[in-house]
């Protein structure tokens, strides 16, 4: 393995810095843009927590579909040359969705401490799912780009498939935890 590729694989901090900065930009842009957005955009992004004035809407089927599609898109983009750009855009959209959901919940639901704790845990699970899946997938996409265009070395398909399977397993574990929290913990309150 070349020195350049080994240095890249060992050093993931630049990927994490890019992901966190794009996520924070999406979050701040969503808080700023919420009052200026049209109703169709608000309806599309604000249904992350499924809380309204009447209480909790148990729409975990929609959450399963959204989470499954997110995992599939991340896995697909990880195998392309410019997938890291698409994954950064997905991180931006997840930050936008999180901020729109916070604004919607805080403007329609009476604020209590228990709602704050539930939203905090639920949003931390969403951020963990988004950032862990994206970190691994961006790393795979950048590796594919480097091996294809910059470094003359054989592409190890076996190690990439193992890495992708690890990515999918981590995403499914975090997704299952978030789904269990939505189904079993939130309706108790």
Query: How many CB atoms lie under 10 A from the CB of residue 120?
Result: 10
- Of 53 and 132, which is predicted with more confidence? 132
Task: For residue range 26-51, list pLDDT tens digits in order.
Answer: 999 988 988 888 887 777 777 766 65
Task: For residue range 63-114, list pLDDT tens digits in order.
Answer: 788 888 888 888 888 888 888 889 999 999 989 888 888 888 888 877 788 8
Mean pLDDT of the residues in the chain: 80
Q: What pLDDT, on the 0 to 100 scale, is given for residue 186?
A: 74
Q: What pLDDT, on the 0 to 100 scale, is given for residue 92?
A: 94
144 pLDDT exceeds 60?
Answer: yes
- CB of 136 closer than 8 Å to CB of 82: no
Assign 3-class secondary structure to the chain. CCHHHHHHHHCCHHHHHHHHHHHHHHHHHHHHHHHHCCHHHHHHHCCCCCEECCEECCCHHHHHHHHHHHHHHHHHHCCCCCHHHHHHHHHHHHHHHHHHHHHHHHHHCCCCHHHHHHHHHHHHHHHHHHHHHHHHHHHHHHHHHHHHHHCCCCCCHHHHHHHHHHHHHHHHHHHHHHHHHHHHHHHHC
- CB of 189 closer than 8 Å to CB of 113: no
Euclidean distance between CA atoms 143 and 5, whole angstroms: 8
Task: For residue range 4-18, list pLDDT tens digits in order.
Answer: 556 655 567 788 888
Dihedral (Cα; 186, 115, 21, 69), 10-degree rounding: 30
Specify the residue for token string 């996520």. Answer: 23
Q: What pLDDT, on the 0 to 100 scale, is given for residue 43?
A: 77
Q: What pLDDT, on the 0 to 100 scale, is given for residue 55?
A: 59
Q: Which domain holds residue 134?
A: 3-188
Domain count, the chain: 1
Q: What pLDDT, on the 0 to 100 scale, is given for residue 50?
A: 60
Euclidean distance between CA atoms 39 and 64, whole angstroms: 24
1 pLDDT exceeds 50?
Answer: no
pTM here is 0.81
Task: For residue range 17-27, list pLDDT tens digits in order.
Answer: 888 999 999 99
């Amino acid at each position: 393995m070349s020195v350049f590729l080994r240095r890249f694989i060992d050093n993931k901090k630049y990927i994490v810095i890019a992901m966190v900065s794009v996520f924070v930009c999406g979050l701040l842009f969503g808080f700023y843009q919420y009052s200026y957005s049209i109703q169709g955009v608000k309806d599309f992004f604000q249904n992350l927590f499924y809380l309204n004035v009447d209480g909790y809407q148990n729409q975990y089927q929609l959450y399963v579909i959204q989470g499954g599609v997110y995992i599939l898109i991340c896995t697909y983009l990880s195998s392309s040359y410019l997938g890291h750009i698409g994954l950064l855009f997905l991180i931006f959209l997840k930050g936008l969705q999180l901020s729109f959901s916070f604004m919607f919940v805080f403007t329609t639901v009476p604020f209590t401490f228990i709602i704050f704790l539930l939203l905090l845990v639920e949003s931390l699970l969403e951020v963990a799912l988004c950032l862990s899946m994206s970190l691994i997938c961006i790393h795979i996409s950048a590796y594919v780009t480097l091996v294809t265009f910059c470094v003359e070395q054989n592409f190890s398909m076996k190690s990439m498939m193992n890495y992708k399977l690890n990515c999918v397993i981590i995403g499914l574990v975090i997704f299952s935890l978030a789904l269990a929290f939505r189904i079993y913990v939130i309706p108790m309150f």
